[in-house]
Chains A and B, each alone.
Chain A
Amino acid sequence: MVWQVLEGLSRESAKRLRFVPGIVCIDEGAACGLSPEARAKALAEMKLILQTVGFPWHVVALEEVFDLPPSVLRCFAQEPVGTEGAYKAAVDSFLQQQHVLGAEGAGDSPSLAQGEEQLSWPCTQDPQNPQSPDRPPTAAQTEALSRLFDSVKTLTAKEELLQALRTHLILHVARTHGYSKVMTGDSCTRLAIKLMTSLALGRGAFLAWDTGFSDERHGDVVVVRPMREHTLKEVAFYNHLFAVPSVFTPALDTKAPEKASIHRLMEAFMLRLQDQFPSTVSTVYRTSEKLVKAPRDGCAAGPPGPRCLLCMCALDIDTADSATAFGAQTPLHLSQTQPPTPPPTAPCCSAGMGRVQGCCGGARPCEREDPRARVIEQLCYGCRVNMKDLPSLDPLPPYILAEARLRSQRACIEQQIQEYLVEDSDDEAQTGES
């Protein structure tokens, strides 16, 4: 479905919009349990279509998630306007490109197409080969991915995990190739379903980011949803009437029974309601438009608060609040974990924090009794609920675990040097961290 929508969009944008888009296609066959032949076939069909579109495209396998750096989980501040030189260079190359396009005539121009995003924050980069090299994922990675998805107990958690990994991968590709915006093809219907599903999954605090038009939680890369006003019916009709080529690949929940996951259930519920009350989807959509992204009280001026490890939204946890269901959940969780055998000396001072010696000299506040608890406490409520269905954190891609470790080490260091920090300056905190 998403590819159909993207196709429709790219056709229009060739005529009207003034930025140079690229297309990213993620091959999720391993997560869905497809055979290699089926994946290769779908990929070949996809490439055929992508080539006719003419924009630079990148096909990325979901297995590459295992190669991601931990920096993908960090939120970078939006790049400053940039020096005059950078902007001029961007404009120059854009004009050059237009000139060449004009000379060559209309039509496909893959040769000079660069991955530059001209909309608001132009970022220059060297012209690259628009087609990324074809590197099929290694069998070990595929195996690791299937192991990860097999270890998740429920379909709901699998879908959420897939979504998180997919987002990280897209983010990484966008950052590597210098794109400042990512457009997804979520339609009105799809977003209405997502809204209700998020509510059911405990992500009510982040609805505005998950379903709004623009999503700036990653800082430098903004996710926009330009198709959010079109219902799926409109999109389907459009695609059919305009003969938009599409490729269909089975997803995680293809042919799953209706109650297999919260997503499926909600989808069936919404569509059935829509059948009888045709204004359901549009009502839900209008409601989602009213959601405003308000910062948490008190942090408008101060430094940004901690962010969830997986979904990168500002954490909505108030650990001191014992009245909520969440507050009751935490002590229960901690009491269930048994401390493993004492870890070897100075594990938390290794890995990148070498210069701070002896931070764990006396007491051991940095030693988490359970690495799982360490990761869990860095997640927002919705992600924690999902993690409950993942019995062991080992199959997770290394970048997640590395980032979790780094963050908890940083927090513990900060705690330790807290008494030495001078009140007003944040600089010491920075040097203490990284």
Chain B
Amino acid sequence: MAAPLSVEVEFGGGAELLFDGVKKHQVTLPGQEEPWDIRNLLVWIKKNLLKERPELFIQGDSVRPGILVLINDADWELLGELDYQLQDQDSILFISTLHGG
């Protein structure tokens, strides 16, 4: 049982092209049964924020290789990648290092 969370989702390096050019999104995640983790967040982003071409951002369960994820300015690999549990006021940054968006 998780309370609604307010997190800031930011996109850089061209990834913002898939989100109407908006770089920063302050989102409020609704309360739900399981705690929010990155996996769920990605699903939520795909459903609610991603405007076009989901395959350019998400691949299967995770982000496409070549997109860096920073959670509170730290590499997500240090925090457990998809299993990291979101806290309130977290800042998630997706930087695309790919050539084509």
The residues of A with any CB-CB pair to B shorter than 8 Å are 1, 4, 189, 232-233, 235-237, 240-241, 248, 250-251, 253-256, 263-264, 267-268, 271-272, 274-275
Which B residue's beta carbon lies closest to that of A257?
B55
- A248-B97 contact, Cβ under 8 Å, with A240-B70, A267-B66, A274-B65: no
Instruction: For B99, give its contact among A4, A237, A251, A272 (CB under 8 Å).
Output: A251
B58 to chain A, nearest CB (A): 14
- A1-B97 contact, Cβ under 8 Å, with A237-B75, A250-B17, A254-B14: yes
Q: Please, what's the 1-or-0 string for B14-33, where 1 marks a CB less than 8 Å from any CB in chain A?
A: 10111000000000000000
A75 to chain B, nearest CB (A): 29
- A263–B99 Cα distance when bound, in Å, is 9
In contact, A267 and B56 (Cβ under 8 angstroms): no
Identify which of residues 52-67 in chain B touch chain A, using a CB-to-CB cut-off of 8 Å: 53, 56, 64-66
**B interface size (C-beta, 8 A):** 22
In contact, A232 and B97 (Cβ under 8 angstroms): yes
A contact residues around B73 at 8 Å (CB): 240-241
Instruction: For A236, give its contact among B17, B56, B64, B95 (CB under 8 Å).
Output: B95
- A253-B93 contact, Cβ under 8 Å, with A233-B68, A248-B14, A267-B66: no
Instruction: For B13, give its contact among A1, A241, A271, A274 (CB under 8 Å).
Output: A1
Q: Please, what's the 1-or-0 string for B82-101, where 1 marks a CB less than 8 Å from any CB in chain A?
A: 00000000000101011111
Instruction: For A253, give its contact among B12, B17, B100 (CB under 8 Å).
Output: B100
What are 16 inter-chain pairs, A to B, with CB distance below 8 A? A1-B13, A1-B99, A233-B68, A233-B97, A235-B97, A236-B97, A237-B68, A240-B73, A240-B93, A250-B101, A251-B100, A254-B100, A255-B18, A255-B56, A267-B98, A268-B66
- A255-B70 contact, Cβ under 8 Å, with A240-B12, A240-B93, A274-B65: no
In contact, B100 and A264 (Cβ under 8 angstroms): yes
- A254–B101 Cα distance when bound, in Å, is 5
- A263–B100 Cα distance when bound, in Å, is 10
- A274–B97 Cα distance when bound, in Å, is 13
- A267-B99 contact, Cβ under 8 Å, with A240-B70, A240-B73, A272-B65: yes
B contact residues around A189 at 8 Å (CB): 97
| Interface of B (DSSP majority class) | loop
- A254–B17 Cα distance when bound, in Å, is 9
In contact, A236 and B53 (Cβ under 8 angstroms): no
Which B residue's beta carbon lies closest to that of A241?
B73
B62 to chain A, nearest CB (A): 9
In contact, B17 and A255 (Cβ under 8 angstroms): yes
- A1–B13 Cα distance when bound, in Å, is 7
A191 to chain B, nearest CB (A): 13
A contact residues around B18 at 8 Å (CB): 255
Which A residue's beta carbon lies closest to that of B98?
A267
B contact residues around A236 at 8 Å (CB): 13, 68, 95, 97
- A248-B13 contact, Cβ under 8 Å, with A240-B73, A240-B93, A255-B56: yes
Known: A236-B13, A256-B100, A271-B98. 7 other contacts (CB 8 A): A4-B13, A233-B97, A241-B73, A248-B13, A251-B100, A255-B18, A271-B66
B contact residues around A241 at 8 Å (CB): 73
A contact residues around B99 at 8 Å (CB): 1, 251, 253, 263-264, 267
- A271-B56 contact, Cβ under 8 Å, with A1-B13, A233-B97: no
- A240–B98 Cα distance when bound, in Å, is 16
A contact residues around B97 at 8 Å (CB): 1, 189, 232-233, 235-236
Instruction: For B95, give its contact among A240, A250, A254, A271 (CB under 8 Å).
Output: A240
Which A residue's beta carbon lies closest to that of B70?
A240
Identify which of residues 1-54 in chain B touch chain A, using a CB-to-CB cut-off of 8 Å: 12-14, 16-18, 53
A contact residues around B12 at 8 Å (CB): 240
Which B residue's beta carbon lies closest to that of A253?
B100
B28 to chain A, nearest CB (A): 24
- A232–B65 Cα distance when bound, in Å, is 12
A contact residues around B17 at 8 Å (CB): 248, 250, 254-255
B contact residues around A250 at 8 Å (CB): 14, 17, 101
A contact residues around B95 at 8 Å (CB): 236, 240
- A263–B53 Cα distance when bound, in Å, is 19
B17 to chain A, nearest CB (A): 7
A6 to chain B, nearest CB (A): 15
- A274–B64 Cα distance when bound, in Å, is 12
